[in-house]
A and B are shown apart, each in its own frame.
Chain A
Amino acid sequence: MRKLVIAISMLAFAGSAAFADPILDRQALMKERGKIVGGLSKVAKGEEPFDATAVLTQLQALQANAEKFDVDALFPKGSDTGDTTAGPKIWEDMAGFKATGDKYLADVKAAVAAAPADVDALKAQVGAMGSDCGTCHQGYRIKKS
């Protein structure tokens, strides 16, 4: 029985390694990130009521999402072709690409650490994150039709 479990888990591991598509994985993470930021942004703009607990939960979700963003695993060499808008500069300047991600993660962590007590505090935090989004998408993403 134990052997079977080990065999199955090894198979599952091999399968995930063989079939994982880094392009789909990173797109899924970015989609999730956009959705969370979208929810926070609605609160920041006053379209939805400010609830400190709910906001903190969302910020924590954002941090978990950012921590899952493992650049080495998600952007292996060769994943610049196919159905992707990842720009070639990612691989030309991997250090710079990682630095923009680190800056974003630091800003998200700072927001969680200083849990916003009101809309204005949240607004400033969302603004900083939004600027990080732009900085990375400015150089490392290419718009395609």
Chain B
Amino acid sequence: MAWLKKLVGAALILGGAGAAAGWLLSAPVKLDAAALAQLGPGDATKGKRIFYAGGCTSCHAKPGSQGDARLQLVGGLQLKTPFGTFVPPNISQDPKDGIGAWSVEDLANAMLKGVSPSGEHFYPAFPYASYARMKPSGIADLYAFLKTLPAVAGKAPANSLGFPFNIRRGIGLWKRLYLSDQPVVALAGGTRDQVVAGRYLVEGPGHCGECHTPRDFAGGTKKSEWLAGAVAAEGSGIVPNITSGGGLANWSEAEIANYLETGFTPDFDSVGGAMVDVQRNMAELTPEDRAAIAAYLKAVPPHPNGYPARKPAAN
């Protein structure tokens, strides 16, 4: 029976080592000093652009808000996903219920590393896997702009997630797989500046890939099908393919930019679904920014649709 004891002992040691390794590998990692040094003073005017490019208000305003109410970032939207229901929190300037007490470093760690001021992981429903590609100076600009917005009291309800997704620590392992500050689409030297600028807006603050790219079993975006469209991760229906392998093949750059500005497709259908809020944010950007986004989308490698074809209608 000695061999059995040895085996059990070995299993315990291995299991313990695995658990310890898992614990270490899943630890929240904050920004290093070098990254924090790049934050700079922050400029609220530039931050306003980041705010709209980042679409903060789409998830953090009270659902259904119009006009100035979209600047009251009280949270409360329900994102229903296969992992459970995520509820974006209050990120208004309220010091107790919102993020009014946060430092600029706190915001940078949240957006670039997905780590809260108290050192916990945020769930990637908060799209820091995209925001991680942003420049620290952009976060400082956003911080300065957020400071100009109102404080609104009131806590949003908590997330409602099933096991094992309710274990925050596990997100540390997810981050090891999917969190990177590197661009998704490699661009050859000599690529138009406009395309490079568009890549930053789309892959970083714009976080377009979060909805327009299919996800793997662990909920990470499939970079091999970048922007190919997907079955909606939240709600129902599909999110369209926005590479030239799909419907966008027939859109010119000017038509894409016009869609982002006015909400009308080239054949004068209108924007719909979750894209309505996105388009309203895009309309706040400059024509140059919209043109850059369009230029990048036309430069992205084409993919076939990242969602199954519709079944023939049942009659």
Interface residues of A (CB under 8 A from B): 34-35, 37-38, 41, 45, 81-83, 85, 87, 127, 130-131, 133-135, 137-138, 141-145
- B216 beta carbon closer than 8 Å to chain A: no
Q: In the assembly, what is the distance between CA of A83 and CA of B276, in Å?
A: 23
Which residue of B268, B271, B272 contacts A37 across the interface (Cβ within 8 Å)? B268
Q: In the assembly, what is the distance between CA of A118 and CA of B271, in Å?
A: 26
Q: A126 to chain B: closest CB distance in Å?
A: 8
Contact B310 A141 (CB under 8 A): no
Chain B positions within 8 Å of A143 at CB level: 232, 237-240, 272-273
Chain B positions within 8 Å of A41 at CB level: 262, 264, 268
Chain B positions within 8 Å of A141 at CB level: 272-273
Chain B CB count within 10 A is highest, among A137, A138, A141, A144, for A138
Chain A positions within 8 Å of B273 at CB level: 137-138, 141-143
Q: In the assembly, what is the distance between CA of A142 and CA of B268, in Å?
A: 17
**Nearest residue, chain A, Cβ from B312:** A83
Contact A144 B238 (CB under 8 A): yes
- B308 beta carbon closer than 8 Å to chain A: yes
Q: In the assembly, what is the distance between CA of A131 and CA of B261, in Å?
A: 11
Contact B305 A145 (CB under 8 A): yes
Chain B 251-287 per-residue mask, 1 if CB under 8 angstroms from chain A, else 0 = 0000000100011100111111110110110000000
Which residue of A87, A134, A142 contacts B276 across the interface (Cβ within 8 Å)? A134
Chain A positions within 8 Å of B4 at CB level: none
- 8 Å CB interface, B170-195 against A: none
Interface residues of B (CB under 8 A from A): 232, 236-240, 258, 262-264, 267-274, 276-277, 279-280, 305, 307-310, 313-315
Q: B260 to chain A: closest CB distance in Å?
A: 12
Q: In the assembly, what is the distance between CA of A85 and CA of B272, in Å?
A: 11
Q: In the assembly, what is the distance between CA of A127 and CA of B307, in Å?
A: 33
Chain B positions within 8 Å of A135 at CB level: 276
Chain B positions within 8 Å of A45 at CB level: 258
Q: A57 to chain B: closest CB distance in Å?
A: 18
Contact A35 B268 (CB under 8 A): yes
Contact B314 A82 (CB under 8 A): yes
Q: B279 to chain A: closest CB distance in Å?
A: 7
**Nearest residue, chain B, Cβ from A42:** B268
Q: Contacts A127-B262, A138-B273 given; 7 further ones with Cβ under 8 A?
A: A45-B258, A82-B313, A87-B236, A133-B263, A134-B263, A134-B280, A143-B272
Contact B237 A137 (CB under 8 A): no
Assuming the A-B contacts A83-B313, A144-B310, A145-B310, are A137 and B272 also in contact, with contact meaning beta carbons closer than 8 angstroms in the complex? yes
Which residue of B268, B277, B305 contacts A38 across the interface (Cβ within 8 Å)? B268
Chain A CB count within 10 A is highest, among B237, B263, B272, B309, for B272
Q: B270 to chain A: closest CB distance in Å?
A: 4
Chain A positions within 8 Å of B263 at CB level: 130-131, 133-134
Chain A positions within 8 Å of B268 at CB level: 34-35, 37-38, 41
Q: In the assembly, what is the distance between CA of A102 and CA of B263, in Å?
A: 20
Contact B276 A137 (CB under 8 A): yes
**Nearest residue, chain B, Cβ from A141:** B272
Q: A75 to chain B: closest CB distance in Å?
A: 16
